[in-house]
Every structure is written in C-alpha cells, then in structure tokens.
Amino acid sequence: MLRKFLISLPLMVLLVAGGLFIAAKLIATKPAPVRKEDPMRPARVEVYHAVRQTVQEKLVGYGTARPDETATISAQVGGKVVNVADGLEDGSPIKAGQVLVRIEEDDYRHQLERASNLIRADQATLEQIKLERANLGRLITSAKQDVRIAEDEYKRVSGLFENKVAAKREFDLVRVTLLRATRELDTLETQLAVLDPRTEQAKASMAAHKAEVALAQLSLDRCRIVAPFDGRLRRRQIEVGETVAPGRPLMAVLKLDRIEVPIELPASCASKVEIGNECALSVESMPSERWTGRVERLGPAADEMSRTFTAYVVVVNGKQPKPLLPGLFVRAEVAGPVHANALVVPRGAIRAGAVFVAVDGVACRRPIELTCALRDMVVVKRGVDAGDAVILTNLASLRDQMPIELEGRRLANSRGTPSPASRPAGGL
C-alpha cells in the first residue's frame, strides 16, 4: 500500500500543477469586456409658461364678528315693574324710543309734587319780601322827611336857646324829637338791609327745590325704559311684578345694521393695509356664504406676543345677501397692494429657492427672488423671464442640465413657445 501511495503522489501533484497552469493561461488570454453606455432616460414633465399680468395681494387673517353697537339696559331707578312690552323676547326687533319696561311711578310723582309746592312757597316768600321792600321804601322816605324837619327845628330852637330867647324845655323837646326821628330812620334802614339776605336765602331755597323738581322729573322719566336704537333683543332678564334696584341689568340690545370684525393680520402686512381697503369674509362651516366689508380703522400697535396687528373691518348688513351674525369666527381676505405687469409663476414650482426652466430639452436650475405670494402663485422679482417654460412636475428627481421630455417626446426649443401640455397651476 505504501508503495502504491508513493508512486501515485507525484502523479497527483503533476496533474494539479498542470490544471493550475492551464487555468492561469486561459485567464490571461481572456478578452476584456466592452463597457456599453446606457443613456440617461429623460424625465417627463409638465410646464407653465410665465406671463406678466396685473395682480393684487390678498392678506389673510381671522377674527370674530361683533355688533358695532351693543347696550346693556339697566334700571336707573328702583321700584316695581308694572309693564313689559308685548312680544319682548330674545331675538325680537325693537325700535329706537320704544318703551320696553315701565316701573311704578307713584313715589316719584309725589316727590315731584312736593318739590313743586316748595317752589311755590319760595315764590310767595320772594313776593312777600318784594312787598316789604316797597313798604319800607315808602316809610324810609317819610322818615327822612321827618328827620329833615326835626333837624331844621332843632337848628332854629338851638339858635334861639343860645341867644336865650327859647327856654331850655323847648330846646330839650326838639332835641328829643330829632333823636326819635333819627332812630326810627335807622330802624327802617336796618329792616331794609335785612331783606337782602332773606332774598338770597329764598332764592337759594328755590334753586334747591327746582333741583329736586328736576331730579324727581328725571326719576319719573326713567320709570319708562326705552330702546336706545333700532336693533334686536339679545337677553331678557325681567318679568312683571319684580322689584328692581338702580343698576340692575334688565336686557341687552344689539344693533345689527353694522357688524365690526377685528381681523388679526401678520405684523409684516401692516404697511400693506390702508383704511378703505375692501375685504371678503367667509365662515368655514358655511362655505356658500360670503360677505364684503371695508377696513375702517387700524390698530395703533402690533401685539408683541402674537406678532400681529388688528384691522377693524365693518360689514353693512343692509348691503349683504344675508346678514353677518355677531359671534361668527370668520376668515378675511383684505385687498392689498396691486402689482402691475407682474411676472407670476405657480408656488409649487419652487424648490429650495429656485425653479427649473425647460431650455432646449434640458432642465436648467435658476435661483429666483420673490416679491410676494398670491395663494398658489408667487410674483417673481428676478430669475425668470416672461415666456419661460417653468417645470411643474417631477421636481424631486430633476437635476440641473438633466434631459427632459414632454408628453412622451423630448421638449425641443420650448423657450418662449407655449407647449400644448403646459397649464397654469391654480388661479390668483
């Protein structure tokens, strides 16, 4: 066995070595493979030909409608409610000046009558003072004459007494007469002077009583609660027979002729909104309804937290197909600046601040600069020219200078030539 193994081993080695030599020879003489280039398959695209046109920005914001005027009607006097207008329920129409509620008037009528009687008493006092003044005037005139006569008599008798012609008794008599006349004149003048403060006191009393009359009349008038303007009743909180106190709310009235909507807009749009700009309003839950209004005033400052500012839009319900109700949350499109001869392209054609334009069968990437956005369109400031075929589809797979194909054929010289397959991407 050993002998056979030793004889076959060299033979086996020889066979293996021969096989390896033949394999190496075959590998060395094998011809090199020919590389065949597979051309890039063109991407099929649709295009939009950029055009110039006049467009207007629409500034979108949101807000809650509220009545232009609202009033909470409260009792201004206390008392028992004796009457509430017929049919006065929530939603009922009311007219300006309509009597809504009546409060018992008896107490205020008595106050008015009492104050009126006190005024008549003051007038009588003034008349009495007037008569006293006239009577004192006559008495003072007479007293002054008596004083002059007594003075003359005193001077005559005094001269005679000095010349020892008149007796002392006669002199004393005329002196006493002069003193009595003078004292009586002083008393009358004092009584006349006292009439002035009495007159002022009577006038002050009359003024106070007139104020009481006015207050009583005002309270009496306030027993009739009337509607401040045309509108609709929102909430009734009173019934006949209840006793009310001053300040108690009775009902709320809304004026629905004009509705105001504070619209919150981005602060960046503040320079684009002006008083008088038109505004279109809609409600998401009522897609078929539309309202129009105008910006009547602008908020003085932006909100530092939300970075918004407020434009107050007024809707005149009389000019609408259906009235806009207070409390609705609305979407508003405020008319912004008008851009004349603007170059617009679809918003969806923009990727990473650039668009692809079809030129001579290839996609050319062009960085662009925008002026503003208009819904699904944008206004391009630079980067695209009028007539350029802006590519709309397959943008994720496009590369600069990549071949493209339109409607199953290569797009040849599409620059400036509208293609049958091109279409606008949405309206302005």
What is the average pLDDT value for the chain, to the nearest integer? Answer: 84
Determine, yes or no, domain membership for 217.
yes
Distance CA 406, CA 414 (A): 10
The reply to whether 152 and 192 lie within a common domain is yes
Determine, yes or no, domain membership for 18.
no
pLDDT digits (tens, 9 = 90+) for 145-185: 989 998 888 888 888 888 887 788 888 888 899 899 999 99
What domain range includes position 329? Answer: 59-67+256-339
pLDDT for the residue numbered 200 = 94
Select from 311, 310, 320 the least CA-distant residue to 257.
320
Considering its fold, how many domains does the chain have in total? 4
Determine, yes or no, domain membership for 419.
no
pLDDT digits (tens, 9 = 90+) for 398-408: 888 888 887 54
Determine, yes or no, domain membership for 19.
no
pTM of the model: 0.60
3-state secondary structure of 65: coil
The reply to whether 180 and 96 lie within a common domain is no
The reply to whether 328 and 390 lie within a common domain is no
Between residues 303 and 28, the one the model is more confident about: 303
Domain end call among 339, 359, 380: 339
Determine, yes or no, domain membership for 273.
yes
> By mean pLDDT, which of 120-129, 156-165, 230-239 is the weakest?
156-165
Determine, yes or no, domain membership for 22.
no
* DSSP secondary structure of 264-299: EEEGGGGGG--TT-EEEEEETTEEEEEEEEEEEEE-
CB neighbours of residue 300 within 10 Å: 7
pLDDT for the residue numbered 33 = 60
Is the Cα dihedral 43, 45, 51, 54 positive or negative? negative
List Cβ<8 Å contacts ≥24 apart for 83-92: 83/240, 84/238, 84/239, 84/240, 88/233, 88/236, 88/251, 89/233, 89/236, 90/233, 90/234, 90/235, 90/236, 91/232, 91/233, 91/234, 92/232, 92/233
Say whether pLDDT at 307 is over 70: yes
> By mean pLDDT, which of 14-18, 152-156, 285-289, 419-423 is the weakest?
419-423
Say whether pLDDT at 208 is over 60: yes
Determine, yes or no, domain membership for 185.
yes
The reply to whether 154 and 143 lie within a common domain is yes
The reply to whether 269 and 347 lie within a common domain is no
Cα-based distances in Å from 262 to 104, 295, 296, 302: 42, 10, 10, 13
C-alpha atoms less than 13 angstroms from C-alpha of 108 in its C-beta half-sphere: 19
pLDDT digits (tens, 9 = 90+) for 257-293: 999 999 999 888 888 898 999 999 999 989 899 999 9
Task: Name the β-bridge partners of 310.
Answer: 264
